[in-house]
Amino acid sequence: MSKEKPSYDAARIEPSRQAAWAERGDFEAPPPPEPGQTPVYVKASSPFTSGNLHMGHVRDYTIGDAYARFRRARGDAVLLGFGFDAFGLPAELAAIERQELPAEWVRQCGERMLDQMKRLGYSFDYDRVFYSSDEGQYRWTQWLFLTLLEMGMIYREDATVDWCDTCQTTLASIQVEDGTCWRCHNEVRLIRRPTWFLKITDYLEENDANTEKLQNWDELALATQRYILGRSDGLEVELEGDGGTLTVFSPHRGALVRASFVLLSPRHPDLDVWVTAADAHAELEQMRSGGWERSARDARAVPVVDTGSSLTGLDGSELPVLVSPLVDARFGPTAVLGIPAIDEADREIAARIERVEWVEPEGEEAADDDGGDVAPAAPVAAAREAKRYRANDFSISRQRAWGTPIPVIHCDACGAVPVPVSDLPVVLPRDLMPRAEGNPLAERPDFVDVECPSCGGTAKRETDTLDCHFDALFLWVPAAVPPADRAEQMFTHPDLREWLPAERLVAGGDSGSFVFDQRVVTKALRDHGEFAFMADGEPFAGCLFHEMVIADGRKMSKHLGNVVNPDELVERYGADTVRLAVLYAAGPAKTLNWSDGALRFANRFLRNLWTYSHDRFAVLDEIPHDPEAAADTEHMRDRLRKWCENGLERITADTAELQLHKSIRNITRLFERIQDFEKRVVKRRGQLDRADAEAQVAALVLLAQALAPFAPHAAEEILLACGRPDGVELATAWPEAAKIPVSAESAAPAS
Ligand SMILES: [Zn+2]
Ligand SMILES: [Zn+2]
């Protein structure tokens, strides 16, 4: 008697599996792991609350989810954490367009995205989801601000920002289009205003040294860290001049004596010592208000100011001291030797400044070199090994209404006074409606007018908010703390010691600067005490960066009409097909050029496996056992087991390394082998013996178990149908090839 054999119907099985998982509580982060169990915290990237998952998210979360499911099946204690980066310009602009409160817009978007994620079968611990715009969350953003302020890592300084006179508002750089305002299209001008900065320079050297020691980081992730750091190796030496002594750097080890000028960063701490002439001062001021932060690295266009001061070069010649942001773009806020004889960019600068005496040597090809390989023209005894980093402090404050309020109060008598920690959070007015013009937060007396915490006099709150990049500095922390304990113990909860550092961060290749700054802040909090248990100050033990998803060889955009909508794919093919396709189509280090080919391949594979398995499960009980026949095919069953062993070994290794495209290729190959086994037995004996059929069913069970991290719904349904009472346990455990029965005696008698 045949059992019922339902055909593969993703729309039927996926919702029922998702309901079963939720009911079983499969994805709740376990309490601190039992002895012998490894805690594995998998951190997926935190999206903006845009309202829709795009294919890049699908790639990100499918990789992270498959890896988390794999580690659970291997017996590890797994936390798959998730939260939204909910403050910031995208949500603010959407709220303005819709005339809706941003908090309301963010809530709707988040709910919708979580629904999409559940439909894709992602095994996040949904009870731990958080929004960076929740008071309970940004209270800790403010705490972090105060802590870093106290540590001297946050400071306030004038900086250049884009300003629209018509809209009476500062603009983010993406709101400036060809020098005009995105909204009113009038010309934008640059103004100087006080801005809060995060100082990262104290930890650059440690980030650099650690980068070489990071174990489970892929090449793409490491490359982004090195690029952001922008390290240059070379020599430094002291020179004397009319402003005293100045330490100058050069990457051109062999050419220090050939210098023709000295180039100083406008951020150099001793700048004022060298800029003494009134006209040089004026020029420098003009350069600053000219927005050099945006300026190109092009040495022909970058602003240069001649200070009028000089230093004495190593060969006794006079070196004019120039100021240019070109130094920052190449070496950070330092002072460097200008050596036009061998440096292309320095040649461009030299040509523009009258006081620089440099004649292009005749006949000698002026080479552009990075130092090192040029033989020293003359060794400089006083020079010592040195390095410089391009990475530099960055501004963290914005004149926007949808952001974490900066916990500072400005008092005429006391200056900028930090809000006491006991007064946190400084609540962003919940009914604040952002507008395109002005700064609505600054126009709210109920927010602005306060008592000075220091002298009790009348004072005003800071009306800048924090850029969402600052919120993101600790977005990897909250999921590791039970929601009920976050109010008191966000940075001190005992569970943090179990879950941190995160075993793996899975994020897009453009997340490098977020990760870099998260690494800096982890070290700061280690030194402050909260994260003292992370001795190396590294938040992520492993890191996988994946490239993006494109279509027709181009970035997806509404304008090009090539946007692939995950919802439509899930609707048409089911979540398992989409998951398999997105994993199979390309390895993480490669850009995924979306095509329906991978979808059709994945869907065909799932249908075939489904039908084939159900057919074999249904007839197993009816197949008779003949000891003689079974003995004759024992070597074939032995080979089947070896195929399973080898296949599983590869799938296990590739999945552990997050090379999931390879895992899926090997899963499909193993399926071919299992079918091949049957063909060979039938060719030899005309039919399968009960022993053969049992071995084959065991192999199919193994295959479905190995498939479960990638296509969890179909795999679990297949395992529930295999006729064994432990179907659910099978679906959440990693298989063992030794369980494939080989011996002729192991077959059960036909019923
Ligand atoms: Zn405007
Ligand atoms: Zn005061």
Please say if the pLDDT value at position 367 is more than 60.
no
Q: How far is CA 128 from CA 19, 80, 485, 565, in A?
A: 18, 9, 11, 27
What integer pLDDT is reported at residue 438 of this predicted model? Answer: 81
Tell me, in angstroms, the distance from the centre of ligand 2 to residue 400's CA: 26
Residue 48 DSSP one-character state: B
Domains defined along the chain, listed by start: 147-206+395-468 (2.170.220), 231-390 (3.90.740.10), 597-746 (1.10.730.10)
Give dist(CA 468, CA 100) in Å, integer. Answer: 20
How far the first Cα of the chain sits from its last, in Å, is 11
Distance in Å, CA 460 to ligand 2 centroid: 10
- Dihedral of CA atoms 412, 418, 423, 428 in degrees, nearest 10, equals 80
Phi then psi dihedrals of residue 571, to 5 deg? -55, -45
Residue 141 Cα to ligand 2 midpoint, Å, equals 24
Please state, in angstroms and rounded to a whole number, the distance separating the CA atoms of residues 229 and 392: 9
Q: What is the pLDDT of residues 128-151, one digit of tens each?
A: 999 999 999 999 999 999 999 999
Which ligand is nearest to the Cα of residue 171, counting in written order? 1
Residue 7 to residues 128, 450, 714, Cα–Cα distance (Å): 36, 68, 11
> How far apart (Å, rounded) are the C-alpha atoms in residues 294 and 666?
49
Residues around ion ligand 1, judged by CB within 5 A, are 164, 166-167, 181, 183-184
What one-letter code names the amino acid at 424? L
In this structure, which ligand is nearest to the CA of 170? 1
Q: Which pLDDT score, from 0 to 100, does residue 1 have?
A: 42
Nearest ligand to the C-alpha atom of residue 456: 2
Q: How far is the CA of 185 from the centre of ligand 1 (A)?
A: 6
Q: What is the mean pLDDT of the chain?
A: 91
Measured in Å, residue 420 CA sits from the centre of ligand 2 at 13
The overall longest dimension of the chain from CA atoms, in Å, is 105
Please write the tens of the pLDDT for every residue from 52-77. 999 999 999 999 999 999 999 999 99
Query: What 8-state DSSP symbol labels residue 465?
Result: E
Residue 80 three-state SS? strand
The ligand that comes nearest to the alpha carbon of residue 179 is 1
Residue 422 C-alpha to ligand 2 middle, in angstroms?
18
399: its two tokens: 């004149």
User: pLDDT by residue (tens digit) across 694-737?
Assistant: 999 999 999 999 999 999 999 999 999 998 889 889 999 999 98
Q: What's the CA-to-centroid distance between 182 and ligand 1, angstroms? A: 7
Ligand 2 centre from 451 Cα, in Å? 8
Query: How many Å lie between the centroid of ligand 2 and the Cα of residue 587?
Result: 58
Over residues 380-404, mean pLDDT: 91
- The closest ligand to the CA of 168 turns out to be 1
Shortest-distance ligand to the CA of residue 164? 1
Task: Please write the tens of the pLDDT for every residue from 601-620.
Answer: 999 999 999 999 999 999 99
Centre of ligand 2 to C-alpha 418, Å, is: 11
Mind listing the pLDDT tens digit for each residue in 151-186? Answer: 999 999 988 788 888 888 788 777 788 888 888 898
Ligand with minimal distance to 177 CA: 1
Give the ligand whose atoms come closest to the C-alpha of residue 459. 2
Determine how many CB atoms are found less than 10 A away from the CB of residue 154: 23
Measured in Å, residue 416 CA sits from the centre of ligand 2 at 9
d(CA 501, CA 415) in angstroms, rounded, equals 39
